[in-house]
Amino acid sequence: MQKPRKILHADCDCFFAAVEMRDDPSLRDIPMAIGRSREHRGVIATCNYPARAFGIHSAMPTAQALRLCPHLTLLPGDFEKYRDVSRQIQAVFHELTPLVEPLSLDEAFLDVTDVEAFQGSATWMAQWLKAECLARTGITVSVGAAPAKFLAKIASDWEKPDGLTVIAPDRVEAFVSALPVKKLHGVGPATSVRLEALGIETCADLRRLPLERLREEFGKFGHRLYELARGIDERPVKVERERKSVSVETTFDRDLPGLTEAREALVPLCRRLEERLARHGHPSPAGIFVKVRFDDFSLTTLESRGLATDQASFQLLLEQAWARAERPVRLLGVGVRLVPEAARQQLELEL
């Protein structure tokens, strides 16, 4: 009989803001956020808990955050410093197990199923992880432990900040049954509304719908909902995550009034993309794309699998994308889709 998996999800609490508060304790008790200024029309990267009390959250436009909290302290951020702290925290993760799947600078999944230290107790491992990260970096980490990835991620958020929640195998049934469906991975606002219209608020409610009905309502995602409502998530912790695309983008301080200005702004973006591709060893492209956000915040993305990764090709896509709205441009991005490793290997065999 296969033993239950033990998965940890470690998530730093308001990571960028936490690093700044560590280095300047006077920031701890005042609303503070990392992001570009109102004049640069940026968005909030993260904020501390005093700022969250005003309704501020990550990805919120800076101007909106300042309306909610006019006395908000806004810092530009030092991402090289954040990457350095992240490397220290990731080193702690790897001391516990080599099976680490980083999701971003500040969070990761760890498979500790076969770790013999701490008498094999996932709870003790999580306690050690939290204590070591705090001692070495001054950053608090919330940790969730569970037999499945999606449950571990939910658990790490359960008692934030500085939380530790363990969902033992014998607790999974009761925990999942009472779990609101909006907590499930992949259930966004639109899906939540559709589930609510069906009278579904918890996973126990969701279980009453047969698989066929869920497929009718939600397509392929219906099968995923069926599994999650029963606590089923067989996804392994992946040590290596395959990159699917490489891209660069910029939000302009002032809207670009027309296509001519957008064409000019595309030139340095293509140069930055070329430099980024070089850093990744010139990976095999499966296609290219252009992303345009207009002044009314509408977004369009146009891609092609038949064009070369050169400036002329991106210019062609830009012209077609801009023609969809013909409005001033707020944001412009360019990128390439990458050939999946399995497909690349198959292509090499065929050649």
| Helix (H), strand (E), coil (C) string for the chain | CCCCCCEEEEEECCHHHHHHHHHCHHHCCCCEEEECCHHHCCEEEEECHHHHCCCCCCCCEHHHHHHHCCCCEEECCCHHHHHHHHHHHHHHHHHHCCCEEEEECCEEEEECCCCCHHHHCHHHHHHHHHHHHHHHHCCCEEEEEECCHHHHHHHHCCCCCCCEEECCHHHHHHHHHHCEHHHCCCCCHHHHHHHHHCCCCEHHHHHCCCHHHHHHHHCHHHHHHHHHCCCCCCCCCCCCCCCCEEEEEEEEEEEECCHHHHHHHHHHHHHHHHHHHHHCCCCCEEEEEEEEEECCCCEEEEEECCCCCCHHHHHHHHHHHHCCCCCCEEEEEEEEEECCHHHHHHHHHHC
Query: Where are the CATH 3.30.70.270 domain residues in the chain?
Result: 1-167
Residue with tokens 């939000």: 251
Beta bridge partners of 47: 33
Beta bridge partners of 43: 61
- What is the rounded CA–CA span in Å between residue 129 and residue 242? 26
Beta bridge partners of 64: none
C-beta of residue 277 within 8 angstroms of C-beta of residue 283: yes
What's residue 311's pLDDT?
Answer: 87
- What is the rounded CA–CA span in Å between residue 247 and residue 268? 13
Other C-beta atoms closer than 10 Å to the C-beta of 93 total 22
CATH of domain 245-349: 3.30.1490.100
Tell me which residues of the chain have a pLDDT lower than 70.
1, 37-41, 241-242, 280-284, 339-351
84 annotated ligand binder: no
Write out the two tokens for 292. 């345009």
173-228 placed in CATH 3.30.1050.10:
no
What's residue 112's pLDDT?
Answer: 96
11 annotated ligand binder: yes
pTM exceeding 0.75: no
C-beta of residue 181 within 8 angstroms of C-beta of residue 201: yes
Catalytic residues: 107
Query: Where are the CATH 1.10.150.20 domain residues in the chain?
Result: 173-228
β-strand 245-256 against 329-338: which pairing, if any? Answer: antiparallel
Any idea which architecture 1-167 has in CATH?
2-Layer Sandwich (3.30)
What's residue 349's pLDDT?
Answer: 40
Cα–Cα nearest to 196, from 212, 165, 217, 210:
217
Query: Where are the CATH 3.30.1490.100 domain residues in the chain?
Result: 245-349
- What is the rounded CA–CA span in Å between residue 165 and residue 154? 9
For the stretch 261-300, pLDDT in tens is 999 999 999 988 988 888 766 666 778 999 999 988 888 9
